[in-house]
């Protein structure tokens, strides 16, 4: 019985450590399917042939997250001209995303990762005062599904411009 408990504890610790790893540039982007603000299921595979800016953020309606979303929205046409889609992920529910998009005029997909599974696959889970959030990380994924650039602990203010510049450099 003690061995069984030890093995279960070791597996739990290993799973936690593995979940905390941020995928690196050059690796395949982990597959996912999550509901968006309109309730439709969105899978990474739907974007095959396009660049994807997959950004994780802590919480709808907070100042940093609103700034980051506004900047991506402001630059959305520039991303579309570069064959890139913006996809945001947080642990907020579909209804929260729907309200956030409506209030803030957002026209790109926000995905609800309420079980934290996708955030964990991307090493983007954090806890604050006992509450689990998505960590502010971004992944620039190429049309073949390979991560080309990883941004951790993002600062919202100039992030969209930074991603656009890197996207342009990678497309040369």
What confidence tens digit (pLDDT) does each residue in 107-127 have? 999 999 999 999 999 999 999
Residue 43 three-state SS: strand
Q: Residue 6: its pLDDT value, please?
A: 43
- Residue 10 forms part of a structural domain: no
Is 101 among the residues known to form the active site?
A: no
Report the distance separating Cα 102 and Cα 34, nearest Å. Answer: 19
Rounded CA gap, 49 and 17, in Å? 32
Structure tokens belonging to residue 140: 């620039």
Query: How many Å apart are CA 104 and CA 72, to the nearest integer?
Result: 12
Catalytic residue among 65, 85, 135, 141: 65
Range of the domain at 159: 23-170
Q: How many domains does the chain fold into?
A: 1
Residue 4 belongs to a domain:
no
Task: For residue 65, tell me if it sits in a domain.
Answer: yes
Question: Left (φ > 0), alpha (ψ -120 to 50) or beta: where does 139 sit?
Answer: beta
In-domain check, residue 16: no
Q: Does a structural domain hold residue 8? A: no
Q: Which residues contact 156 (CB under 8 A, 6 or more apart)?
A: 64, 65, 67, 68, 71, 136
- CA 79 to chain CA centroid, nearest Å: 16
Supply the mean pLDDT for the chain.
91
What confidence tier does 48 reach under pLDDT thresholds 50, 70, 90? very high
Q: What is the pLDDT of residues 138-153, one digit of tens each?
A: 999 999 999 999 999 9
Give me Rg for the CA atoms of the chain: 17
- The domain that holds 81 is classified in CATH as 3.40.30.10
Overall average pLDDT of the 30-41 stretch: 97
């Amino acid at each position: 019985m003690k061995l069984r408990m030890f093995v279960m504890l070791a597996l739990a610790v290993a799973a936690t450590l593995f979940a905390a790893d941020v995928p690196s540039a050059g690796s395949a982007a982990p597959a996912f399917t999550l509901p968006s603000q309109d309730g439709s299921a969105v899978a990474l595979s739907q974007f095959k042939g396009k660049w994807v800016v997959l950004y994780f953020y802590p919480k709808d309606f907070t100042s940093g997250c609103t700034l980051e979303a506004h900047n991506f929205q402001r630059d959305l046409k520039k991303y579309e001209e570069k064959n890139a889609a913006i996809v945001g992920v947080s642990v907020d529910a579909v209804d929260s995303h729907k309200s956030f998009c409506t209030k803030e005029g957002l026209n790109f997909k926000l995905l609800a990762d309420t079980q934290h599974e996708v955030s964990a696959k991307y090493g983007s889970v954090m806890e604050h005062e006992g509450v689990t959030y998505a960590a502010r990380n971004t992944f620039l994924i190429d049309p073949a599904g390979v991560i080309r650039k990883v941004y951790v602990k993002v600062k919202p203010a100039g992030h969209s411009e930074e991603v656009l510049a890197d996207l342009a450099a990678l497309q040369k």
